[in-house]
Amino acid sequence: MINGDKLKKSAEYRKKVHSLIPGGAHTYSKGDDQFPEVSPAAISRGKGAYIWDLDENKYLDCSMGLTSVSLGHAYEPVVEAVKVELDLGVNFQRPSYIELEMAEKFVELIPGHDMVKFSKNGSTATTAAVKLARAYTNREKVAFPGDHPFYSYDDWFIRKTNCNKGTISAFDEISLTYDSTDLNSLERLFTDHPNEIACVISEPEKAQGIPKDYLQNLVNICHKHGALYIMDEMITGYKVDFPGSISKHGVIPDLATWGKGIANGFSFCALTGKKEVMNLGGILNEGAEKVFLISTTHGGETHAIRAALKTMEIFEKENVVEHLHKMGQLLIDSTLKILENKNLNNFIDVVPCKWWPNFAFKDDQLNLSPEFRTLFLQEMIKRGVLFQGSFVPCFSHQESDIQLFANAFEQSCNVFTQALEKKTVEGLLVGPAAKAVFRKYN
Ligand SMILES: Cc1ncc(COP(=O)(O)O)c(C=O)c1O
């Protein structure tokens, strides 16, 4: 059992890091406030589906680098391919040969799209897509679902969250939100802002799924009102299908953004799109006004592109997506069975999404509870499963790992039941409950 005694180096790390790094991490989702106190503060290494913390405790990884590691940590064929590229140098005065190789392969992969720009993170790609749509339509406003969690760390998105100190107030008028479950709310936005909305950006689907024809209807609404549709495949890409929702549903957006999962954790993201839109960022259209699309020093870094090429090759050859779905379904089946046996189905919800099973935790009054959720996380972590409320299957997860998850899940259910009986987590949860990332106050 991993308890405080086995997390001494983690405790020291926590003490130091916040005076040097605001937030203590480089994405808020990895922060101390997202985990129970009994948890690793930092990871020292990973291999396959497992990670080790500073105190050498070993965990089954359930989040895989926030969904970015799709094959497994330090996945040998990717590491070997990256090493070859490292020996050739990683950044030059002119583009590297590998940029064309990747562009050809990536464009071939994405149905209906003709051109691609690379970036080092997803926010750069989504922000560039929005900018390009503005340039194409000569409109300024952007619409996205207010019920989706994240599209970019840039102001056009962050201004609409609770955590918007330091952002520009002009985005109150420029960024508009609708309800992703009600396309009439999007229609109303277009009616209220005639000829002003440049684009709609959304994730194509969430774990809850979408009705048939939802995406085509969404595209049709955008086009009817002269706006572009941007499909953000950051999470769905390489998970729901290969390459993503775009192929699963056969619906072609004007632009699409890609990132997590496509380079097995390396920093490689992409914006793809139709030629007539993407070409605005080109330099050969003599006399046309130039659009400053993505331009970044590290965008063509060779070894990350090689990692992406190798990942793509493995996804193509090995039918990785099928394996991911098999692992996801196994996890859903085994946890549902445990919850039924323990009479906990009313208190722990399973979202049965085979590409990303999710869980919600309720208290004795059947209200969603951060305290009860954090207690469950704590119990899983104590048992060597670094669980944050969902499971992201990767190619390295095997049936034995799902069994390990299920064993920890079953034992954690026993502690959860104790808390339900006591009507409190007091005496069971060490430290405070995990908090929401997008909160107004610390
Ligand atoms: C749907 C979606 N879009 C965009 C992003 C931004 O990606 P990045 O963190 O690489 O900037 C994220 C990241 O969580 C995301 O989930």
**Residue nearest atom 7 of ligand 1, based on CA coordinates:** 122
Q: Given this model, what pLDDT does residue 147 score?
A: 95
Locate tokens 């009102």: which residue?
225
Structure tokens of 105? 């392969």
Question: Model confidence over 105-161: pLDDT tens digits?
Answer: 999 999 999 999 999 999 999 999 999 999 999 999 999 999 999 999 999 999 999
Ligand 1 contact, 203 CB (< 6 A): yes
CA of 234 to the centre of ligand 1 (A): 6
Task: Return the pLDDT at 37.
Answer: 97
pLDDT value of residue 280: 97
pLDDT the model gives residue 339? 98
Give, in words, the CATH class of 91-300.
alpha beta
The token duo for 1 is: 């059992």
The residue assigned the tokens 């632009």 is 255
262 in ligand 1 pocket by Cβ < 6 Å?
Answer: no
Contact by Cβ (8 Å): 239, 245: no
Q: What is the pLDDT of residue 221?
A: 98
State the span(s) of the chain assigned CATH 3.40.640.10: 91-300
Low-confidence stretches of the chain (pLDDT beneath 70): none
- Output the six-digit token pair for 221: 């609404």
The closest residue, in CA terms, to atom 8 on ligand 1 is 122
Report which residue type is found at 22.
P
Q: What residues does CATH 3.90.1150.10 cover in the chain?
A: 4-74+319-422
Centre of ligand 1 from the C-alpha of residue 170, in Å = 23
Q: Is 348 helix (H, G, I), strand (E, B) or coil?
A: strand
User: What value does the mean pLDDT of the chain take?
Assistant: 97
Out of 28, 30, 123, 180, mutate this one to test ligand 1's pocket (max ligand atoms within 8 Å of CB): namely: 123
SS in 3 state form for 245-313?
HHHHCCCCCCEEEECCCCCCCCCCEEEEECHHHHHHHCCCCCCCCCCCCCCCCCCCCHHHHHHHHHHHH
Confidence (pLDDT) at 288: 93
For 390, list phi and psi in degrees, rounded to 5.
-150, 170
Q: What is the DSSP letter of 231?
A: E
205 lines ligand 1 (CB under 6 A): no
What fold is seen in the domain 4-74+319-422? Aspartate Aminotransferase, domain 1 (3.90.1150)
In this structure, which residue's CA is closest to atom 2 in ligand 1? 151
DSSP notation for 103-143: HHHHHHHSTT--EEEEESSHHHHHHHHHHHHHHHHT--EEE
Contact 303, 374 (CB under 8 A): no
- Summarised one tens digit per residue, pLDDT across range 12-25 is 999 999 999 999 99
Nearest residue CA, atom 10 of ligand 1? 122
**pLDDT on residue 436:** 92
401 Cβ inside 6 Å of ligand 1: no
SS3 content of the chain, % helix, strand, coil (to 5): 40, 15, 45
Q: What is the pLDDT of residue 134?
A: 98
Q: Which two tokens stand for residue 398?
A: 């095997």
pLDDT at 377: 98
